[in-house]
Chain A
Amino acid sequence: MSKVGVIMGREFLSTVRRRSFLIVTLGMPFFLTAYMAMVGLLPAYFLIRSGRSEKPVGMVDLARVVRPEVVEALGKERGEAGRDARTIADRVAPGSARVKAITSLLEDVDGPIEFVTLPSRDDALRRLREGTVQRVFVVPVGYLESGAIEVYQTETSPFARGGERADGALTRILRLSLAAGNLPDDVRARLDRPIEPSALSSYLVRPDGGVEPLMDAERIARMVIPGVFALLLLMSLLTSAGYLLQGVVEEKENRVIEVILSSVTPRELLFGKLLGLGAAGLLQLGVWVSVAGFASSLLAAAALAYLNWKLFLFCLLFFVGGYMMVGSLMTGTGALGSNARESQQLSVIWTLCLVIPPAMTWMPIVDDPNAWMARALGWFPLTGPITMMIRLGTGKVPTWDALVALVCLAAGVYLSIRGAAALFRLGLLMYGKRPSLREIARQLRHA
C-alpha cells in the first residue's frame, strides 16, 4: 500500500470511529426529521385544519350577473396550486408514493372555497356579525359599467388568511358567469384557463440553430444536479475540513507530526488526509441523504429520470477539484495557527472565497451564463467550482468553455497543493507560535 493510502486509511478509520462523528452522522437525520416536523409539517397540519373548518363566503348579487351553476361548479374544484402540483408530479415522477403524498398535502391546504348566495346586503351583514360567513362580497347595481365590488369582513388585517383565495375565486365566478351564454363553451373554458400547464411545450434553440424539445422535468434536473453537487461540496468542506483541521492541530499539539514527517513528505501527508477525510465526509453525507429518503423525493426522481451524463460528469469533476483545492488551502493555512481556534479562523477564509462571489452573482449568471463576468468567475479556480455548477445548470455553456474552466481548476489544484504543502511544512514544525508573513512568503517562493 502506498504511504498516501496508509494515511488515507488511518484518517478515514480514526474519523469514522470518533464518537462525535457517529453522533452527528446518525443523529442528524433524526434531528432534521424532528426539525422538519416542527417547522414544516405542524404549520401545514394547522393550515389543513383551518382550511377544513373554513367558513363559507357570502355573495349578494344585486347586479344579477352571477350564475348559480358556476358558483356550484367552482365550489367543488381544487385550488390552482394543488392542481398544478398534481400536473407537474404526474409528468416528472408518475406513480411515486412520495410525490402523491406531497401533492395531496398541497391540495388539502389549497382546498375549494364555498360560496353562499344571500338575498340582501342586510341579511349578509347580519350573518357576518353572527360569524356564520367569513366575509361578504356584494356585486352592486351598475357593476357592469363600473366594475365595483363591495367587500365586508370582520378582520382588519389586509393579509387575513383566505382573502386572496376568496378574491381569486370571485374573479373566476364573475368571469365565467359573464361569459356564460355569450360565448361558445370552448372559448369560455379557455378564458378560464388561457394556458393549460399540461399542454405547455418548451423548446431549446441550440447555438447551431437546431431546435429540440425542452422538458420541464429536464430543466428541473439540469438545475438539480448542479445544485446537489454545490450543496455536497459545501457540506463536505464544512464537515470534513473541520475534522481535517482538528487532526492537524492534534498532531501538531501532541508532537507526533515530526515522526510522521520523517516518513512521508508534507505533500503525501496532505494528500492522504484530504482523501481520507473526504471519504469520511462523503460517507456522512451518504448516510444523511439515504436516511432522509432523498432518492425517492421529487427532485431526485426528476434528476434520475432525465440524468444528463455529461452534465453529471462535469459537476463531479468540478466537485472533486473544488474539494481538493479548497481543502488543501484550508489545511495549509490552518497548519499556520498556533491553536485549534486560530487554525479555524485562518482556514474559513477559503470557504468564503469559494461561496460568496457566486452566491452574490447567482441571478446574473443564470440570466446570461456566457457573459464575461460569469465566464471570469467560472475560469478563476477559486470561484470556478460553484460558478460552473450554476452555469452548467442553464444548459447554455459550450463544452470548450467548461473544459477551459476544468484546465484552470486543475492548474489551481496543482498550485494550491504545492503552496499548501509548503505552508503545511512551515506551520507544522512551529510549535506554539505563528510564522511571520516574511517566512510565509519565503516558503511559498520555494514551493
Chain B
Amino acid sequence: MSTLLFSRLRKTYAATVAVDDVTFEVRPREVFGLLGPNGAGKTTLIRMLIDIIAPDSGEILLDGRPLGRAERDRIGYLPEERGLYRKEKVIDILAYFGMLKGLDRRTARASSLEWLERIGMPEVANRRADSLSKGMQQKVQIAGALLHDPQIVVMDEPFAGLDPLNTVLVKDLLRERRERGGLVILSTHQMPMVEELCDRVAMIDHGRLVLYGVLEEIRRRHGESIVLVGADADLEDLPVVARVEPQGALHRVILRDGARPRDLMALLLEKRIAIDHFEALRMPVEDIFVRTVRSRSATPAPPPPPVVAGAERRA
C-alpha cells in the first residue's frame, strides 16, 4: 500500500507563482479530489507529478522515496487537453500507449482489446480515431490511461463530454481502482462528482492550498452553521443566530461562528418554542468551493496554508 506525498512544492513562471509551498498526501484506497478555480495551479501540480514540469523546490515522494522511472510507469494519466492520433487505428494507438508504459507489444495489444471490451466498444478496434464520436474518443482515452493497470490514476475532468450512461461507467471504473488499492486523483469542476466519489479533497487557489482533508469533515465544519427551522417565533433574537432567511414556510437560520445546531436546539427547548421542523443542513461542496474562493478574493494577502486533519507535513 503506497502513499503519495506532495511535499512543499513550489513553481513559478516568470513573475507568476503557479504553486506556492503546497503539501498534501494521497493515500491508497481513496479517490482524492483536487479542486480549485481555473488557473489555480491544479494542472501544474499534476504535470509535476508526471514529470512534465520540474518543481522549483519541494518534491513528490511515493512511500518516502522520490518517484523514479519505474514508479512513473505505474501512473495512468488522462489530461484535460486530450486527443488521439486522428488517422490511426484505435488498437494501434492504445497498444502504442501501453508500450510506452513498458508493456511488450503482445501484452499491450491484448490489454487494449480487453479494455475496449470493458468500455463496450470492441467493434472500434480497427476503426480510425477520427471516425469516432467525441464521447467514444473520450472513452478510448480513458482506456488508454488504465490499460497498463496503473497504481496511481490521475484524471483531469474525465466526465466532460460523457452521457449519463458513460458517466456511470467511468465512475464505476474509478471506484474499482480504489477497491483494488489504487490511488486515484480526480481533478474536476463537477462538484456532484466530487461529493459522490471523493474520500478526501485538496483545494488550491492562486497556487496555495486553502482546503484539505476528509470531505465529510470539511462538509460538517462548513455545514454545521446552517439549520432549517419550522417554528412560529422570532428566531433572530436568539444569541447563537447570526441571521435568518425565509425559505418557503421555513426559516433558514445561519448561526454565529462557533455555534452548533445543538446549541440552537437547546435554546429553542429552553424558551419552549414549538418546533415543527429542525434540520442541520449539509452544505453542498459547490457552496463551500464558492464561499472559500470568494472569501480569499476579498482578502488582500493570502493566509498561510491551513494544516488540517490528515495533512501532517513531513520534513
Could you say which of B50, B53, B104 contacts A1, with CB atoms under 8 Å apart?
Answer: B104
- Shortest CB-to-CB span from B187 to chain A, Å, is 13
Asked if A262 meets B77 with Cβ closer than 8 Å, knowing A10-B96, A14-B88, the reply is: yes
Asked if A262 meets B84 with Cβ closer than 8 Å, knowing A429-B52, A438-B14, A439-B14, the reply is: no
- Which residues on A sit within 8 Å (CB–CB) of B51? 262, 265
Q: Is B262 an interface residue when CB atoms closer than 8 A count as contact?
A: no
Q: Is B109 an interface residue when CB atoms closer than 8 A count as contact?
A: no
Contact with B along A1-28 (1 / 0, CB 8 A): 1010011001000100000000000000
User: How many angstroms from the CA of A310 to the CA of B149 in the assembled complex?
Assistant: 52
Verify A262–B96 contact, CB threshold 8 A: no
Q: Is A156 an interface residue when CB atoms closer than 8 A count as contact?
A: no
Verify B99–A6 contact, CB threshold 8 A: yes
Q: A-B pairs with CB below 8 Å: how many?
A: 65
- Which residues on B sit within 8 Å (CB–CB) of A446? 54
A-side binding surface: helix, strand, loop or mixed? helix
Verify B85–A258 contact, CB threshold 8 A: no
- Which residues on B sit within 8 Å (CB–CB) of A254? 83-86
- Which residues on B sit within 8 Å (CB–CB) of A151? none
- Which residues on A sit within 8 Å (CB–CB) of B52? 258, 261-262, 425, 429
Verify A255–B82 contact, CB threshold 8 A: yes
When C-beta atoms are compared, the residue in chain B nearest to A265 turns out to be: B51
Could you say which of A7, A256, A261, A429 contacts B83, with CB atoms under 8 Å apart?
Answer: A256
Q: Is A259 an interface residue when CB atoms closer than 8 A count as contact?
A: yes
**Which chain A residues numbered 402 to 447 have a C-beta less than 8 Å away from chain B?**
425, 429, 431, 438-439, 442, 446
Contact with B along A225-260 (1 / 0, CB 8 A): 000000000000000000000000011011110111
- Which residues on A sit within 8 Å (CB–CB) of B105? 1
When C-beta atoms are compared, the residue in chain A nearest to B99 turns out to be: A6
User: How many angstroms from the CA of A442 to the CA of B16 in the assembled complex?
Assistant: 14
- Which residues on A sit within 8 Å (CB–CB) of B100? 3, 6-7, 260, 263-264
Contact with A along B246-260 (1 / 0, CB 8 A): 000000000000000
Asked if A259 meets B144 with Cβ closer than 8 Å, knowing A10-B96, A254-B83, A425-B52, the reply is: yes
Q: Is B178 an interface residue when CB atoms closer than 8 A count as contact?
A: no
When C-beta atoms are compared, the residue in chain B nearest to A446 turns out to be: B54
Verify B75–A262 contact, CB threshold 8 A: yes
- Which residues on A sit within 8 Å (CB–CB) of B37? none
User: How many angstroms from the CA of A259 to the CA of B54 in the assembled complex?
Assistant: 17
- Which residues on B sit within 8 Å (CB–CB) of A261? 50, 52
Q: Which of B52, B77, B82 has the most CB of A within 10 A?
A: B52
Contact with A along B46-68 (1 / 0, CB 8 A): 01001111100000000000000
User: How many angstroms from the CA of A264 to the CA of B8 in the assembled complex?
Assistant: 25
User: How many angstroms from the CA of A425 to the CA of B52 in the assembled complex?
Assistant: 8
User: How many angstroms from the CA of A394 to the CA of B53 in the assembled complex?
Assistant: 49
Verify B86–A258 contact, CB threshold 8 A: no
User: How many angstroms from the CA of A264 to the CA of B145 in the assembled complex?
Assistant: 14
Could you say which of A6, A258, A438 contacts B79, with CB atoms under 8 Å apart?
Answer: A258
**Which chain A residues numbered 291 to 340 have a C-beta less than 8 Å away from chain B?**
none
**Sample of 15 more A-B contacts, CB < 8 Å, known A253-B83, A262-B77, A425-B52:** A1-B99, A3-B100, A6-B100, A7-B100, A250-B85, A254-B85, A254-B86, A258-B81, A259-B77, A262-B50, A262-B51, A262-B79, A263-B101, A265-B51, A439-B13
What are 8 contact pairs spanning A and B, CB under 8 A?
A6-B96, A254-B85, A259-B144, A260-B100, A261-B50, A264-B100, A265-B51, A429-B53
Give the 6 A-B CB pairs with smallest separation, nearest first: A255-B83, A254-B83, A263-B100, A262-B50, A258-B79, A262-B77
